[in-house]
Structure 1
């Protein structure tokens, strides 16, 4: 698929479970890249996960620039850099919760345990709030501001929680891959992560006009790429 070809599902498509589920499966090239992602997981344990993370970042970036998301398995050094950058953000967001969880276990404090659980939940909610914005220009400053990320999630409104419902449904379905002697789970897990990435990217790109350079301006009512 070339950048000039029309995508059946892209970031301008109204968010739905059907469109998100179809996104990684909509062309021969998209399916080929999904299978290659699963292969990379096997060939490069650990590093493969980071490369797949970078791959999703580049896919979204390409769509925000008005290009086809595929091919995105290029410049592996760049993919690894994006994977490490976003992993660092995730560690940064989760660190306070895990630190308190450790202290709660050390001192046997149920109060600290509850606070740790709340912080970990808030971190999980906030993380999607930086991913799509980082994809836009690969600006690390978009990552390390958890309060801004959380504010974006709140501003995402009902669509943001719809993306979460789609993500959790895809997660449940992905475990069906275990029925294929476990090997299928490598493929279904890649499918799940791409569904999740696309769903949240759809919400934030549409809400904040992250593809405004391509479309000529932010959508009506959008607050810009804050």
Structure 2
């Protein structure tokens, strides 16, 4: 069983969402829900949060497609964190583009990059006890990410490889991409959760 005690590698992370019939079924459920615009994406976000939460407390990751209201709430809370992190950089980049000010656009791009690096730094900690206070502290989230060291960057490498591979799903008339994108999100979620759970003793 691949869980939060399993070291991160391409093999273990890629296999995590597919390791049991129930796990594969939950990927397909997530793919089907993506046909519901935005709400399906939020439910998938909440599903990943609950999967990690269950593993942190010694339970199997699956089944996690239960209590859709709770999944939607977790999805909204974590999505709100993403908006909070990305909004300053996006606003600055847009202002720089509108005013043709290259340095402002570059500054916005730097903030967007830092936000991308910081988001995994809050996501796993939120999963531990569903405490929203873990989310809305960008400095703490970024510092946690950078303190992850080589393991954190290895998780990014795995996630980016999974992202690239997920586009193979487009060969299935685009429908396959629904499943491969859910698979990618779960690979990334597992990889970062493993890194931060080990670093900060969250299990």
Could you tell me how far 1:124 is from its partner in structure 2?
Answer: 0.3
CA distance in structure 2 between the partners assigned to 1:180 and 1:103 by the alignment: 39
Root-mean-square deviation (Å): 0.5
Is 1:184–2:169 an aligned residue pair? no
Q: How does 1:111-122 map to 2 (within 5 A)?
A: 111-122=103-114
Structure ranking higher on relative contact order (CA contacts 8 Å, 6+ apart): 2
Name structure 1 gaps, 5 residues minimum. Answer: 1-7, 212-226
Q: CA deviation at 1:45?
A: 1.4
Per-residue deviation, 1:188: 0.3
Structure (1 or 2) with the greater helix fraction: 2
Mind listing any 5+ residue stretches in structure 2 that lack a counterpart?
none
Q: Tell me the distance in 1 between the aligned counterparts of 2:29 and 2:10.
A: 24
Q: Displacement, 1:107? A: 1.2
Quote the residue 2:141 is aligned against.
149
Distance apart, 1:103 and its partner CA: 1.1
2:4 aligns with 11
Aligned length: 203
How much has 1:46 moved relative to structure 2?
1.0
Q: Residues of 1 paired with 2:94 and 2:180: CA distance?
A: 33
Q: Counterparts of 2:121 and 2:51 in 1: how far apart (Å)?
A: 17
Q: Distance in 2 between matches of 1:58 and 1:183?
A: 25
For 1:111 and 1:206, the matched residues in 2 are separated by: 39
Map of 1:204 onto structure 2: 196
- Residue 30 (str. 1) matches residue 23 (str. 2): yes
Give the 3-state SS of the residue equivalent to 1:127 in structure 2.
helix
Q: Rg bigger for which structure? A: 1
In structure 1, distance between residues paired with 2:82 and 2:64: 22
